[in-house]
Amino acid sequence: MAETDYRPDFAKRGGLVPAVVQDAQTRAVLMLGWVNEEAWDRTLSSGKATFWSTSRQTLWEKGSTSGDWLQIVEIRVDCDDDTVLYLVNPLGEGACHTKNASGRARSSCFYRRLDSQGRLVNLDP
């Protein structure tokens, strides 16, 4: 990816902006991650989605441990400059860090839905 002078408004949410990750081909929403300025810079320089792990309080390049990389195709920014959309080509088994019953990475973190009774239904058992 090319370097850019543009920066999202990291100050609005204490240094983080949400990054919605969507498959560039299928348009399926794969995950939501948080991006700080360092993750933003690393994403732009490497062309691979990098996030700030809010649970581990560290930089996290998706795929560095799982091998399931998210190659950036395009980045879009919302009207308030405080949310980004990463259109990606998933490289590997899936985008989710959880596995299904067969031990495979799920293609999306959004693998459950609420049914009409308010119960979670697993779409990728």
Domain count, the chain: 1
What CATH number is given to the structural domain containing 44? 3.10.20.810
User: What does the alpha-carbon distance between residue 23 and residue 95 come to, in Å, rounded to a whole number?
Assistant: 10
Name 36's Cβ contacts closer than 8 Å, sequence gap at least 6.
10, 15, 16, 52
Q: For position 125, what pLDDT does the model report? A: 79
Place of tokens 């308030």: 80
> Residue 66: inside a domain, yes or no?
yes
User: How far are the Cα atoms of 16, 103, 122 from residue 35, in angstroms, in the given order?
Assistant: 5, 28, 28
Domain of residue 77 covers 10-93
Q: Is the pLDDT of residue 51 over 70?
A: yes
User: Once rounded to an integer, what is the mean pLDDT over residues 43-61?
Assistant: 96
Q: Taking phi first (over 0 means left), then psi (-120 to 50 degrees means alpha), and beta for anything else, what does residue 22 get?
A: beta
> What is the residue-averaged pLDDT of the chain?
94
Alpha-helix runs per DSSP H in the chain: 37-46
Structure confidence at residue 1 as a pLDDT band (50, 70, 90):
low
> Residue 39: inside a domain, yes or no?
yes
> Residue 105: inside a domain, yes or no?
no
Structure confidence at residue 3 as a pLDDT band (50, 70, 90):
low
> Residue 31: inside a domain, yes or no?
yes
Q: Give strand ranges (E) for 56-125.
A: 58-61, 69-77, 84-91, 112-114, 120-122
Alpha-carbon torsion (96, 105, 44, 29), positive or negative: negative
User: Once rounded to an integer, what is the mean pLDDT over residues 5-16?
Assistant: 95
> Residue 43: inside a domain, yes or no?
yes
Q: Which pLDDT tens digit goes with each residue over 67-125? A: 999 999 999 999 999 999 999 999 998 899 899 999 999 999 999 999 999 999 999 87
Q: Is the pLDDT of residue 65 over 90?
A: no
Q: Is the pLDDT of residue 2 over 90?
A: no
Q: Which of these, 78, 100, 92, 106, lies nearest to 18 by C-alpha position?
A: 78
> Residue 2: inside a domain, yes or no?
no
Structure confidence at residue 16 as a pLDDT band (50, 70, 90):
very high
